[in-house]
Amino acid sequence: MTDKLEINAIGQIAVAVSDIRRDVEFRTMYAVIFRATVREKGPDYETTADHLRQLAMTRYRCRDFVSMQEGASELTISWWDSLEDIKQWREDPEHRAAQDRGRDRWYSDYRVEVVEVVRQYNKAG
C-alpha cells in the first residue's frame, strides 16, 4: 500500500490512497453540514431532534444522519442522494418550525453548508 500526501499551491491537502476498494460503486452524493453554538436545549429539543431525524430518513430519503456535541459546539452531518431531496427537506413545515425554535431558543449562532461528495472510500473490516 502506498499513501501519498500532497499540499497544492493554494494550501489544500490532497491524499491519494492506493488500496481504495474498486468494487464499491460510487454515485453522486451530497452532505449537509450543520454547525451551531448551543445556547440552551429545552426539554423539547431531544424529542424534536429524534422526530426530525426519522422524518428526514423516511420521507425525504436521507441516507445517513449523525450528530455530536462537545461543550457548546454541535455538529450534525446528513447525507443525501440529490439536491432536490435536500430542498424538499429544507421546506418541510415541521422542519421549518424547528428551525424557528432553533434560531429563537436553542442556538446562539449556526452555519449550514451543502457540499457534494466527490470521493468515497473505506477500509472494510
Q: What is the model's pTM?
A: 0.75
pLDDT band at 19 (very low <50, low <70, confident <90, very high): very low
Q: In this predicted structure, what is the pLDDT of residue 54?
A: 96
Per-residue pLDDT of 105-119, as tens digits, reads 999 999 999 999 988
Residues 77, 32 contacting (CB under 8 angstroms): yes
SS3 20: coil
How confident is the model over 3-31, as a mean pLDDT?
51
Is the pLDDT at 100 greater than 90, yes or no?
yes
Is 124 domain-assigned? Answer: no
Instruction: Give the integer Cα–Cα distance in Å for 9 and 54.
Output: 43
Instruction: Give the integer Cα–Cα distance in Å for 83 and 32.
Output: 10
Widest pairwise Cα distance in the chain = 51
**What 8-state DSSP symbol labels residue 95?**
H
Residues 111, 75 contacting (CB under 8 angstroms): no
Per-residue pLDDT of 21-70, as tens digits, reads 444 456 789 999 999 999 988 889 999 999 999 999 999 999 999 999 99
Other Cβ atoms closer than 10 A to 105: 13
- Cα-Cα-Cα-Cα dihedral sign, residues 93, 33, 75, 17: positive
Q: What is the domain extent for residue 46?
A: 26-117
Is 16 domain-assigned? Answer: no
Instruction: Count up the domains in the chain and report the number.
Output: 1
Instruction: Give the integer Cα–Cα distance in Å for 54 and 30.
Output: 18
Instruction: Give the integer Cα–Cα distance in Å for 19 and 21.
Output: 6
Is 10 domain-assigned? Answer: no
What CATH number does residue 66 fall under?
Answer: 3.30.70.100
